[in-house]
Structure formats: structure tokens, C-alpha cells
Structure 1
């Protein structure tokens, strides 16, 4: 009896509950279903995910956290590259075959400033070694990225280097992201850059087309004209003698997808002008400038090094290799069309990006090689000082009170007309751009530490006379960057015999931006080269010991400037207190400052 009663009670409760739920469903059915679906979605959204539990969406990418990302590496193409055999493959040092004459090499060298004949022996699609940071191989990027138009201006570029630029960009980029390649011909006179180039591209690279300018407009306006013809979401500008490396494009596009007011630069590697070796320039520096508008490099911040290879902020871009959203580029007015040929455009655009509420980043996982010519092969296309005029236009529009520090070093710029600046001031007003003092305090906050507003005085300057043979002085003999400084001549006090041991502790020809550089001390007589001053001590650090009259090299001052007075050869050797050829006399010494040498910045780290 108790069991029967209990059973009946349970049945009644169940029936009552079912009937109640039926009435609820009948009255509120749709609302209840919607509420259940909503609760389910919220629970799924809030559910924790570890990296191991990422959902692999085979054709669309991978869900990282709650963002869809993709591995854009082309494994099949990279595998084929590794099988390629030939001169310069994997970016290795190449040498001209002995069957090619020196005259043939020299003729092309003179009109290009690099070993163009060797370039012709290297495949247009040569392979490159992957020298990116190891984490770049595993890096995923947003599955939804903007499309890109590649804009490459050129003037009398060599055939193989121009085509290698285009092919490397196309071959190593996701095809759905690279929408077009626009080559802008700035009044080239070489026959093969006409119809032959058009026909070749139509057959072998139809994504590329050539826009021809009616006259010599210069690099800056050529870029502007190319941008006007572009139809993609983003503009990517490259020089005409570059090579794009593995997966170069997605790292440039992702920051722009996240914030369209962003410009992104790749790491710029070096393609050797003589042997076409592809090598790293360094593993990251921030862009800067000195107060004569020479491009300089600033050290990475600790947080940038810790998060490598994530993109990091940089005050100034190096030049013509960068990506920017088409929308933002034109909001900024593009480049100032009043800037002529080349010079100053990287400062103008960098200042505009930062001061007009954008940001400039360097992307370590995007690496592009660039040929730095041994010399400029083209004559000056203008009779006036167009570079100084460009610099002054940039300074007058964007630098506010800081322009005085440029003019203090280059007072002649004040005599050069800027032309009409009304449109450029309107760009600044329209975008409600910030003052240059904001840029200096918030973006380039450490610039003046490395490049002071007022130059520190020299430790020594004037002629450098050898005390073993007093009639001989160090002489540059018109040597330039990358050349060996290896000579002395009869002391005359000429401009070629004037030098400075500067407040940055480097040694350079007077008013030059090339410094004495000793890259290798292994040899008994180590050569002294002329190389761009970096003001970072290291292999450009020099001192003068007044007690011994020796010019000492490096942080530890163990090696001294020496000479063979018979052959008039200069070199660096281990310091020897008994060697008379290691003793030198400066014509001017700042004894008070020199006595403080070891206490004054910059100091070795």
C-alpha cells in the first residue's frame, strides 16, 4: 500500500509538471527557445580556450582566441625554391663567370652603380635564405586582410634588377592579397624599358603594368602618380632594385587592418652591390634623424626587444619601402607634390603620420633586400639645390620651433625659396595635427640624447701629422663611403687633410658624414674604412692620448693608428710605445674637454 501511494504521487507530480511546461511552451515558446539559444551562445563564448584547443578551420584559417587567423606561408613554393640550383641561389655570394670580360662588367657598372652584369647571370626568381626571426615561421595573421597595390617608380633601372623586384614580390605574396603591380617609368631613356618591357610583362607577369610619365618628375611625384592609378585597399611602395623575402606581405598588412591610420615598414636587408649576397643589415633599430636631416638609427626600446618579432613603433621611416592604407595616404594629402625629385619625403610623411593621429611601425617578420649603390650613376636632373628646398618645405610646415636647429647648421637653407605652402598648411589644419613638440616628447623622446639640438664641441680637429715623418699628413684623397682610407700626402692643410675627433667620439673628415671605421682587427695591419657615421661608438670609437700622442681605436684602446711612411699607407695595429710611426700631432686640441673624455657621453655600454 505505501508503495502504491508513493508511485501515484510521483506520477501526479510528473503529469502536473508536463502540463505546466506545455502551457509555458504554448504561451512563451518562441521566447524560451530564443533565450535558450542566447544562453548557449554566451556559454560557448565565455568558455576558456588554451592554445592547444584552437579549432582548426581547414579552409578558412585557425581560431586563435576568438580571432580567425591564417598561416600564409606557401610551403609548396618554398620547397621548390630549395631545389633551385644556380648562381646566387639562397642569396649566396655570386661571382661573374670568367668568360665575361672586365670591360663588359665595367660598362654596365658605370651606368648603374652596381654590378649589373652579374645581376643578369642570376635568376629573376632566385631563392633567398629565410633569415627572419625564428618565431616568424609560426606567426599567424588575420584571415581578413586588405588588398595591396605595389607601386615601384624607376628611372633607367637595369632590366634584371627591375624584373627581380616585381617577380620576388609576386612569387612570395598571397595571390589574393596582391591586387596589382604598378611600375612607374620616370622618363627612362633605355630602349629595353619601353615596348620590350611592356611585352615581357604582358606575357610573364600580367598582374604588372607600366605607367609612363611625360617628363622627369622625380621619385616623389612618380610615387604619387602610381598611387593615383592604384585600386587596392593599401599602397605598398618599393624601390626598383629590391627583393622581397619569405611571406613579406601579410606582416605589413595586418597592422593596417587593425588600425587604418598606420604605416608599416619592413626590415630592410642588404643586397651587396658587388656580389649580390643577401644579408641582414641588423636585427632592428628605430628610425631617426640628425639636425642636418641625415637619416639615423636609434636603439630598440627594452619592451621592443622583449616582444620581438612583434611590430614596434618607429619615429621615422628609412625611405621608400613601406605600406599604408590608401584611405589614410590621401587623408594626409599623399606626399607634398611640391617636393622635387627626391629628398625629405620620408621625413614629411613620417611627421604627418604621427602628428595627424596615426602611427608608424616596423614589422620584423617582413624583410626586403635593397641594393645600396656604390655610387649614384645619374646626373643631377635640376640646376638648383632641390634637396635643400625639399628639406625647408618639410621644416616650415611640420617642425614648428624645432626648425631653428636645422637652420643653425645649414643657414644657407634660409636663402632658398620654399614656394607656396598654402595647401600643405591646409592638410595640417584639416587633420587637426599635433605640434612637433608633441612628436619630440612622445615619439622621438630619446632623439636628442643621441643627436643633441646643439652639437658638442670637438675633442681635436684640423690636420693629423705623422711625427715620424712630419712632412706627411693623413689625406682622404677624395675617398668616399665604403672606400679604404689608406693614404698620407705632403702636408698642405687642404680640405682633404682636415679631420675631426668629434664630441660623439668618432673620427671623420671635416663636415663629413662618413667616419673612420675598423670592421675587423684580425689582421696585423687592419684597414681603416670610410663608412656612414652611426654615433654609436663600437667600430667607430676613437680617442687621442695626449701623453703618448697616439690615436687609439675602440673601447679598450688596445690598437693605434699606424703608418708605413715609405709607402704612405695607413692602418691600425696593436699599440707599441716604442713605435714612432704611431705618434701623431693634431693642429688643434681641446685639452680641457679631452681631459674629461672618459666621463662624457656617449659612454660604452
Structure 2
């Protein structure tokens, strides 16, 4: 007898399959639910043919890999320009998702998409996928928030194109604000009952929105995230993210990661929503009123990545919950490299030596690799953005290859006043990895009471007794956050 209700519920969940969208069912809790699938749209997608259709990789020739295709966007804009704006995607959801029904009455949503110098076709494909795969009644509006883009195609041309979509409106910042304040601007103007945040290079998949809104309708103190699938930055093939039975987490260095859900916490139906301690942050939905009750985002956050921790912590402290929803899937292009400068970030584009006019180069070395000098790579080239000459001087008071949030887990390290400067696994405990940038342009190492020096002829970097008059010990940090460096200067030894 105890198993009887479970059997009944399972049967009801399988009934809608093949009966058509809009069919209503009364559930055991008395609430009416319906099949939200748009079978006509699904059928149209199934009939499409062409390069890149059904999420298949675009066939590339050797010439198609030219660096210029990636330089402006961090992904292959040539491929993006040569696949359809309304291309079809594979339905890779768990089979049970095709059977699920959701509340008949769902809240509507404002879909907020911030962008800065986004590629033309990647942005349009985001909009087309939303329009084509979302019930119109659920969209209150789509708000494109332009964070001070300077590309011509994102000005009058974009305004003219978006006129065809009655629910799309464009708002623009008056100066470069960064992701967080740009999102806040969109949220402050939103009229929908739910805020849904997406990135500007996404493609939403079949029936992606109802599962998110359903979870919020059941409990308004809920933030929900879709499964974020991968659109390859090179050939634009669409693939599932690695493992659905994974939940968000972070390590002591605040790096976001996904870890397996322990077997004892896994749901009997793997297609059901599951709780996650922390969300990825880029794509999610939240009740608009509750978002502001939480305080929204801290407007002082300058760059992306980190805001998800702030929101996650506030959700748990304020009695809410966070869910990942396997039946909602959205593809996202993970860039090959970040193609633009981050405003007011801690990123140091280059560390250039005054005497040699050469730059520190990490060469993607492994543990124990010695740092070297090399010709300074021009801004915006692929090699610069692949982090060989890009460094972060952050709150740990160590120096790491890479820009914030994408730093490699190696740090500048020195063991004595005369040792070479090497890359070593970051430990965050200062000591051999503790550095200060002083007003005399020297990089000081408090443990050895010495400074970084170099031999320009041999392009070697090593520790030496500090000599403020020696140009080989003077380093120019380019594209810096002065607030960060002033903090370290105030701590530097004399």
C-alpha cells in the first residue's frame, strides 16, 4: 500500500508524451499542469538541414583556423557567420524530460542579456533561439543591455534589426560598467515577475523555460539554473556539459567547480531538479521581488565571476534555495580567450623591464619552470590573451599568470636572495610567494629582502640585492588597478 501513490504519480508523469502541447492534467495536489512543449517548432527543427544544423560541428578547413577569426570575439566568428541564425539543436535532455508537465499558470519573465562588443551573429542567434523556443506568453520582454560597446554593428544597425521583435528593447550604459552593474541596470528596468539572466552568446534548447519558472512558481524564494551545455568556440558543435549529476562548489581559492552529487543525495529520477550549494552565476532565473529583497548584486563588484558566491550566500542565509534543473538546457560559447579589457580589474596586461624593454613571459610552464623575458606581445593578439604575458596581482599578495578568475594555479616563487624566479604551485600562504610593487618600480620579496632582477642578454630573471638605481630591477606594470598597487605599496618594506 505504501508504494501505491508512487506508482500513480509515475504513470501521470508519462501520460503527456505524444498528446500534444497545451494538454491539461489535474495532479494529485489539485494543481493543473500542462504539456508546454511546442511540437510544431520541434518538428520544424527536425526537418532543417545544412552546416551546423542539429548542433553538429561546422566542417572547417585549415584556413578557417586563422587567428583573425578569434581575435575580436574569442571564438570563431567565421563559423558563427556561416551557420543559420535559427539553427536547430539536438534534444539531449534526459528522456524523462519529454514526459514532464508543468503548472498551467506560470509567471512571466524579463530575459536580461548584457553584452559588450558582442559578435553580430552570435548575439542574433541568442535572440532567435529564445524567440523560437519559448512560449510567447511567458516572455514579458527581452532586455538587451549594451555595456558601452563601440562596434558599429551594435548601434543603429542593431536598433533597426530588433524592431522586428516586439518584446525586445535595448538599453545602453553611459560608460563602461562591467557585467554586474550592467545586469543591475537591466533588472532595475524589468517588468516581468521573474528575472532570467542569460549571456549574449547562448542558444536555448527545447522547452528550456517552463522547468525554470515552474520551480519558482512552487517556491518564490528559489534561484534556478539550467544545465549549461557547451558550444565549441571553434566549430560551434553543441555538446552536453560533463555529467548532469554534478553540483556547484568552490575551493578555498574561490575557484568555481562542479563535483559529483553523493549517491545518497541523488534523486530517484535524474531529470528532477536538485539543490546545489552554489551556482555557476552566468545563466539563472529568480523572482524579481525576491532578487531585490536579497539586495540584488553588490554594485561594487567590478568583474564577472564572484558574484555567484555573493548571491548564493545570501540565498541560503535568507531561507531560500538554489536548484539546478536538468530539463532546462542552454548552450553557451566558452571563449578561447577574453577579447576585451576588464574595467578597473586587477589584471596586469604586461610586466615590462625598463632596461631590456622586454616582458615577463610564463610560457605556460609547469611547476619549477623559470620565468623568462621575451619580446612584448602586442595587445589583443591571441598569445597575450592566452595568458603567457598576462598577470594578476591580487588579494593573496602573490603574482599569477592569467587575468582574474582565469589565473593558472602557479605563482611567482623565489627561495633565496640569489635564486631564479620560478613558477610554483600556489599555496596562498605568502612566504616565498609574497611580493610587493614599490614606488621605485621594484618588485620586492619580503622573505629574502631582495628584488627581482634580470639579465637582458640571456633573458633570465632572478633575485638580487635591491638597488633602486638599477634599471634591470625596474618593472613597468601596464594596464594596472592603482588601488590594488597602492595597497601593496603601503605594506612594502623600505
TM-score by length of 2: 0.67
Partner of 2:340: 378
Give the paired residue count. 361
2:53 corresponding residue in structure 1: 89
**Residues 1:323 and 1:495: Cα distance change in structure 2 (over 3 Å):** farther
Q: Distance in 1 between matches of 2:336 and 2:75?
A: 6
2:272 to 302, 310, 324: 310
Shift of 1:304: 2.1
Question: What displacement does 1:290 show?
Answer: 1.1
Partner of 2:25: 62
Alpha-carbon distance, 1:197 to partner: 0.5
- Following TM superposition, by how much is the alpha carbon of 1:189 offset from its aligned partner in structure 2, in angstroms? 0.3
Q: SS in structure 1 opposite 2:42?
A: helix
Q: Secondary structure at the match of 2:130?
A: helix
Distance 1:135 1:60, change over 3 A: closer
Cα distance in 2 for partners of 1:270, 1:206 equals 29
Of 109, 121, 131, the residue aligned with 1:148 is 109
Going from structure 1 to structure 2, the CA distance change for 1:229 and 1:500 (only over 3 Å counts) comes to closer
Give, in whole Å, the separation in 2 of the partners of 1:216 and 1:92: 36
- 1:221 — aligned with what? 181
Q: Does 1:242 align with 2:193?
A: no
Say which SS state the counterpart of residue 112 (structure 1) adopts.
coil
Q: Following TM superposition, by how much is the alpha carbon of 1:185 offset from its aligned partner in structure 2, in angstroms?
A: 0.2
2:43 and 2:229 map into 1 onto residues whose CA distance is 23
Distance 2:251 2:226 in 1: 22
1:353 aligns to what?
315
Change over 3 Å in CA distance of 1:337–1:96 after alignment to 2: same
How far 1:61 moved relative to its partner? 1.1
Q: Please give the residue correspondences for 1:99-248 in structure 2 after superposition, counting only pairs within 5 Å.
A: 106-203=67-164, 205-248=165-208
Cα offsets for 1:271-292 (capped at 9, x unmatched): 0000000001123211111111
Mapped to 1, the partners of 2:420 and 2:79 lie a distance apart of 39
SS of match in other structure, 1:364: strand
Kept after mapping to 1: 8 A contact 2:147/2:175:
yes
- What's the counterpart of residue 262 of structure 2? 301
Q: Secondary structure at the match of 1:306?
A: coil
Q: Is the 8 A contact 1:287 1:297 kept in 2?
A: yes
Give distance in 2, aligned partners of 1:193 and 1:333: 31
Instruction: Name 1:24's counterpart in structure 2.
Output: none
In the alignment, structure 1 segments of 5+ residues that lack a partner are 1-45, 387-459, 465-475, 484-491, 503-509, 512-605
Pick the aligned partner of 2:216 from 251, 256, 259. 256
Higher Cα Rg: structure 1 or 2? Answer: 1
Find the residue that maps to 2:137 and give its secondary structure: coil
Contact 1:185 1:213 in 2 (8 A): yes
Note the C-alpha offset of 1:381. 2.2
Deviation by residue 1:131-188 (Cα, 9 ceiling, x = unmatched): 1111001011111111011000000000111111111112111111112100000000
Q: 1:188 to 1:69 in 2, by over 3 A?
A: same
Shift of 1:52: 6.1
Conservation of the 8 A alpha-carbon contact between 2:249 and 2:277:
yes
Task: State the match for 1:327 in structure 2.
Answer: 289
CA RMSD after TM alignment = 3.3
Counterpart CA distance in 1 for 2:44 and 2:342 is 44
Alignment partners' CA distance in 1, 2:21 and 2:42:
21
Instruction: Give, in whole Å, the separation in 1 of the partners of 2:419 and 2:38.
Output: 61
Query: Which deviates more, 240-249 or 54-63?
Result: 54-63
Deviations, residues 221-278 of structure 1 (Å, cap 9, x unaligned): 1111101111111000001111100100011111100110000001111000000000
Relative to 1, partners in 2 of residues 1:59 and 1:92: Cα closer, same or farther, differing over 3 Å?
Answer: closer
Per-residue CA deviation, residues 81-104 of structure 1 (Å, 9 max, x unaligned), is 111111100000103478xx659x
Q: Is the 8 A contact 2:277 2:322 kept in 1?
A: yes
State the 1:64 CA deviation: 2.5
Q: 1:407-556 to 2 correspondence within 5 Å?
A: 462=368, 498=423
**Taking structure 1 as reference, are residues 125 and 67 closer, same or farther at Cα in structure 2, changes over 3 Å only?**
same
Aligned partner of 2:486 in structure 1 is none
Alpha-carbon separation, structure 1, partners of 2:155 and 2:118: 12
Cross-structure match for 2:247:
286
What TM-score do the two structures reach when normalised by structure 1? 0.55
Structure showing the higher helix proportion among its residues: 1
In 2, the alpha carbon distance for the partners of 1:307 and 1:50 equals 12
Partner SS, residue 298 of structure 1: strand
Aligned-partner Cα distance in 1 for 2:83–2:60 = 10
Deviations 1:170-229 (A, max 9, x none): 2111111112100000000000101111110102x2221111111101100111110111
SS at match of 1:90: helix
Could you tell me how far apart the structure 1 residues matched to 2:91 and 2:22 are? Answer: 26
In structure 1, what is the Cα distance between the partners aligned to 2:213 and 2:203?
A: 18
TM-superposition CA deviations, 1:104-148 (whole Å, max 9, x none): x53341111110111010111100000111100101111111101
- C-alpha distance after superposition, 1:280-335 (max 9, x if no partner): 11232111111111112221132325331110000111121000000110101111
* Corresponding residue of 1:364: 326
The 3-state SS of whatever aligns with 1:236 is: strand
Match for 1:80 among 23, 38, 44? 44
Could you tell me which runs of 5 or more consecutive residues in structure 2 were left unpaired when the two chains were aligned.
349-365, 371-386, 390-400, 409-417, 434-494
SS in 2 for 1:291: coil
With over 3 angstroms needed to count, the CA separation of the structure-2 counterparts of 1:385 and 1:501, relative to structure 1, is: closer
